[in-house]
A and B are shown apart, each in its own frame.
Chain A
Amino acid sequence: MTASEEKDSQWIECVIRIREQADQAAFAALFRHFAPRVKAFLMKGGADEALAEECTQEVMATLWHKAHLFDPARASVATWVFTIARNRRIDALRRQRRPEPEDLPWGPEPEPDQAEIMGLQQDTERLGEALAQLPEKQRSLIERAYFGELSHSEIAAETGLPLGTIKSRIRLALDRLRHAMN
């Protein structure tokens, strides 16, 4: 197991301890790692520091309350935190509802399969490495698309790059990520 896989399984363990034992120390560990990232994410999305602090606390509290809904066979902890922070940003900064897809009619989840969880952890790590290895120009556009709350045309207006260049750089970046995952 590599260091970052170990880290991710450590976060999964924290979520399980919150769910089963209302473990505040496990929550504190998750908080120390993820809360500063969530705060940066919200500030890049346009929140001032006070609002970002407030919303970060709400996101982290949501993590506690929804720990029973986390499924480590379907998403990494980082992905789960990202989706909660994203929804909070849409709600607080854009003041919009966020329509979510209907849940699959699978009924009560069976105990998550260990092999599936391991597979997902390996995928997550490969994805993170592939992202880190993207050429700087491609990676920065991907990061801005997720972080900066900018549409492609707004990125074009801000960077002076033609829209076609931005679209093709993002497409190249996605192709590289897919290639790395195959």
Chain B
Amino acid sequence: MDKITHHLDDRLLMAYAAGTLPEGFNLVVATHISLCDECRARLGEFEAVGGQVLERGDTVALADTSLEQTLARISGDAPAGDDRNTMPQRSSVFPAPLRDYVGGDADAVHWRAVGGGVRQAILPTSNAATVRLLHIPAGAAVPDHGHRGTELTLVLQGAFRDEEDRFARGDIEIADEEVQHTPVAEAGEDCICLAATDAPLRFRALIPRLAQPFLRI
């Protein structure tokens, strides 16, 4: 695998550690970290900050019988199994958190054509962000779009280039408002990306804006 060169920034890692990101962003962050040991280590640091914020934070008294109730709860619960994510299948295209949402690997996705040879699949998450998979034929342009809000694009297969950079498997592009770019999938292999946005995308070239609410783009 190519070395990952485009990583999560502090703002995203801290918000993921704090648990304040919308679900769709959490999915992209968790998927990147599954592929990136560097960001996994940085996440550990941000969670340690959370631990110290908790340690040094305020306290609120529990109900008088709280400990007894908790012990009763414990003896009533079924013993917990080992619920760590299933052992990684390093040969799969999708890391475990993404497989959970898709219900399988890349071959299990229900794609829908959106024009220009590009296909997409919207994954079900809370409304605060939209997350979808994009399948872009090798050599094809990702439809030209402008952004509102923040958009995260994580490459899972193949690679794309925009005017400045190259993004390959594991790389994440963080685009903030008003960025306009025209990424192109590299020749050779079709490109699959996981993209999340907290605002509706405008695919200006392809889809009339009025249609957006129905198509959930």
Contact = CB atoms under 8 A, between A and B. Distances in A.
A171 to B, nearest CB: 7
B85 A102 contact: yes
Is the interface on chain A under 10, 10 to 19, 20 to 34, or 35 or more residues? Answer: 35 or more
B77 interface: yes
Nearest to A67: B80
B70 to A, nearest CB: 5
Interface string B35-67: 001001001100111111111111111110011
Given A100-B30, A102-B88, A66 B80 contact: yes
A101 B79 contact: no
Contact of B30 (A34, A39, A99, A177): A99
B19 A89 contact: yes
A36 B62 contact: yes
Interface of A is mostly: helix
A145 B52 contact: no
A27 interface: yes
Contact of B19 (A64, A86, A132, A170): A86
B189 interface: no
B183 to A, nearest CB: 25
Contact of A79 (B47, B57, B61, B126): B47
Interface of B is mostly: helix
B82 A75 contact: no
Contacts of B57: 37, 40-41, 143, 147
B49 A98 contact: no
Contacts of B90: 105
Given A142-B49, A145-B18, A100 B85 contact: yes
A101 B71 contact: no
Interface of A: 24, 27-28, 31-32, 34-41, 43-44, 49, 52-53, 56-58, 60-62, 64-66, 68-69, 74-76, 78-83, 85-87, 89-90, 94-105, 123-124, 127-128, 131-132, 142-143, 145-147, 149-152, 167, 170-171, 174, 177
8 contacts: A31-B66, A57-B69, A69-B82, A96-B23, A99-B100, A102-B34, A103-B96, A104-B37
